[in-house]
Structure 1
Amino acid sequence: MYRERAAVGIRSAVRWESVSAGDGVVRVLPDGCLDLLWSSRAGLLVAGPDRVAQVGRSVPGERWIGLRLPPGVGPAVFGVPAEELRDRRVPLADLWGRAAENLAERIEAGPLTHRPAAGAAVLEEAARARLRAAGGPDPLGARVAARLAAGATVAATAAEVGLGARALHRRSRLLFGYGPKTLARILRMGRALDLARGGVPLAEVAARTGYADQAHLTRDVRELAGVPPTRLLTPSTG
């Protein structure tokens, strides 16, 4: 079971809940986001920005709640540059100390049947408070991510936000965990898979999302996701 909806008070953030139905492979694709997570087995975690898919195994009955923060917002919430969390899963207590312990106690205080929705609201509240304390996210993150998500080149994006190539790369590492070229590849893969899941043929997907051809699309997705797009589009395939 998996469901999600828009978070309240954090633009473009998503709250989600899931329960593992059985033992199987779980493939989490890179998306440029950082997540604040609670697991019934592992407690509170931060999922950093991934460069490639993270592959693990689900534990039957394990419950998850999460708050997916849009690209560029995570550093203001967690208080560290995104590159320090890149490709990592970090206990929230390592970043927030006692505040993380208090947050876990609030989530785990209610009955299990009510925990997902209530727990997600607690995560949202904590993230909003951190954002307020930080004065909000760096607005550059949203501007850069929006341009790259729309298919703009890195050079065009740098010119539009008034930064040189090196400055944009440096700021991107702090905000997203990696440079703008990597973020652009990840966001393009996301656009391509969304179209393919909507029934658009892969050759047309490649043309509409800026790949040279379908073979280029397949190579890029395989590098980032670990499997070709046809595998990702097959139901119940990890």
Structure 2
Amino acid sequence: MYAERASRLTGAVVWTNTPTRPGPGRVLPDGCMDLLWYDGRLLVAGPDTRAHLTDGTPGGWAGVRFHPGTAPALLGVPAAELRDRRVDLTDLWPAARARNLTARVNAAPDPATGLERAALSRAADTGPPDPLLARIVTALDAGRPVAATADALGIGARQLHRRSLAAFGYGPKTLARVLRLQRALALARNGTPLAETAARTGFADQAHLTRDIRELTGATPLQLLRG
């Protein structure tokens, strides 16, 4: 069973998931990175360019999903280094530091609470996120073209690409595509017909929407909606 709530860390979400049936699961690209807890271990989920298929391992998971672009500063790792990867925290941080944080999370009343406290502590140590990153996400999520986004932000296309790689794990075109996927699925899940969803989210037609979603997720919109 999956559940989530807004975190006290701005823009983040705290979630838990205990699979209720065997078999693999599907985690869709969303432009985010997560700090994960599983079986007493801490891992980092990098930004995905395609659906991540879980192996159906039994047991509960917990995580903090960071707003796009904010995790690299908190974790000290460029997002591009973790693209399409799940990495043990001990592979990213010095061993003693990783063990200390893991122990603190495991000592909390529950893993989700421990992860949120860890995220809040890291945010207090690193300071506020770069406001430019939020403006990039807002512009692209609104469907603004990449070139127009760069112009509106007063930066060149190459700088926008470099900043996006470090903060989001991929270039602005891929980020825009992932954000459009999420917008389209949100509309469809709320009952908007697929043809209307395609028109409202900038696809040429329903066939274009279906093709793009299949490329990003490995499933059709109808399969995702049924799942």
Alignment TM-score, normalising by the size of structure 2: 0.95
Question: Deviation string for 1:64-115 (max 9, x for gaps)?
Answer: 11000011101111101110111111111222332221222233336xxx52
Q: Is 2:65 the partner of 1:68?
A: yes
CA drift of 1:59 comes to 2.1
> 2:103 and 2:144 mapped to 1: Cα distance?
44
Task: Give the letter aligned to residue 19 of structure 1.
Answer: T
Q: Say if 2:79 and 2:166, in contact at 8 Å, map to a contact too.
A: yes
Q: Residues 23-172 of structure 1 correspond to what in structure 2 (within 5 A)?
A: 23-40=22-39, 43-60=41-58, 62-97=59-94, 98-109=96-107, 115=110, 119-172=111-164
Task: Give the letter aligned to residue 25 of structure 1.
Answer: P
Question: Deviation string for 1:1-42 (max 9, x for gaps)?
Answer: 11100000x2110000111223112111010000000012x7
> 2:220 and 2:154 mapped to 1: Cα distance?
37
Alignment correspondent of 2:2 = 2
Task: Give the letter aligned to residue 35 of structure 2.
Answer: L
Q: Percent identity?
A: 58
CA drift of 1:215 comes to 0.4
CA drift of 1:137 comes to 1.8
> 2:204 and 2:158 mapped to 1: Cα distance?
27
> 2:106 and 2:5 mapped to 1: Cα distance?
21
> 1:92 and 1:137 mapped to 2: Cα distance?
21
Alignment correspondent of 2:15 = 16
Task: Give the letter aligned to residue 166 of structure 1.
Answer: R
- 1:99–1:134 Cα change, 3 Å: same
Task: Give the letter aligned to residue 171 of structure 1.
Answer: R
Task: Give the letter aligned to residue 108 of structure 1.
Answer: N
RMSD across aligned C-alpha pairs, in angstroms? 1.4
Higher mean alpha-carbon deviation, 158-167 vs 207-216, is at 158-167
SS in 1 for 2:99: helix
Higher mean alpha-carbon deviation, 51-60 vs 126-135, is at 126-135
Alignment TM-score, normalising by the size of structure 1: 0.91
Q: Say if 1:76 and 1:130, in contact at 8 Å, map to a contact too.
A: no
SS in 2 for 1:36: strand
Q: Say if 1:6 and 1:13, in contact at 8 Å, map to a contact too.
A: yes
CA drift of 1:57 comes to 2.2
Question: Deviation string for 1:148-193 (max 9, x for gaps)?
Answer: 1111111111111111111101110011000000000000000000
SS in 2 for 1:57: coil
Q: Say if 1:23 and 1:57, in contact at 8 Å, map to a contact too.
A: no
SS in 2 for 1:25: coil
Match of 1:197 among 164, 189, 199: 189
Structure 2: runs of 5 or more not aligned: none
Question: Deviation string for 1:171-221 (max 9, x for gaps)?
Answer: 100110000000000000000000000011000000000000000000100
Structure 1: runs of 5 or more not aligned: none
